[in-house]
Amino acid sequence: MEQETLPTEVILTYPKQSLGNVQLDWSPQPGSYFDLEGQTYTVLERRHRYQLKSGRYRLHKIAIYVQKMQHPAERSLVDGRWVMGDATCAYNARSEIVRCAVNPEGACEGCRYYERR
């Protein structure tokens, strides 16, 4: 059985503009990273677009809202998902999008605010 591709519109959140349409063979989740034309983006939101055909609604395409991002060098696995930064720090946000409250741009290594959780 062949993997079905999903027609996906990629929308940059700021400044708001469409980056185009792509065919994906995976389902992008918020917090995941997405590479397009040599630039890395973080998926912030995913919306489904449906179309009425023969009296039934069918998934027509997906729109993902993204922001430009440098692929983080520091990641930690927490409860089966990857989060940004060092999850052993008390200030870590345990988020796929935000590293921490006191040093969101990072890096965690050598951070003067590091406090063991």
My answer on whether 92 and 117 are in the same domain is yes
Is residue 1 situated within a structural domain?
Answer: no
The residues, ordered by sequence, that sit 6+ positions from 39 with a Cβ below 8 Å of its Cβ are 68
Task: Specify the pTM.
Answer: 0.63
My answer on whether 62 and 95 are in the same domain is no
Is residue 63 situated within a structural domain?
Answer: yes
**Gap between the Cα atoms of 88 and 20, Å rounded:** 39
Is residue 105 situated within a structural domain?
Answer: yes
Burial class (CB in 10 A: 0-12, 13-18, 19+), 76: middle
- For residue 22, pLDDT beyond 90: yes
**Residues of the domain holding 83:** 72-117
**pLDDT, tens digit, 9 for 90 and up, residues 46-96:** 999 999 999 999 988 999 999 987 766 677 777 777 777 888 888 888 877
The 10 Å Cβ neighbour count of residue 8 is: 21
The answer to whether 94 and 39 are in contact (CB under 8 A) is no
The residue with greater pLDDT, 31 or 51, is 51
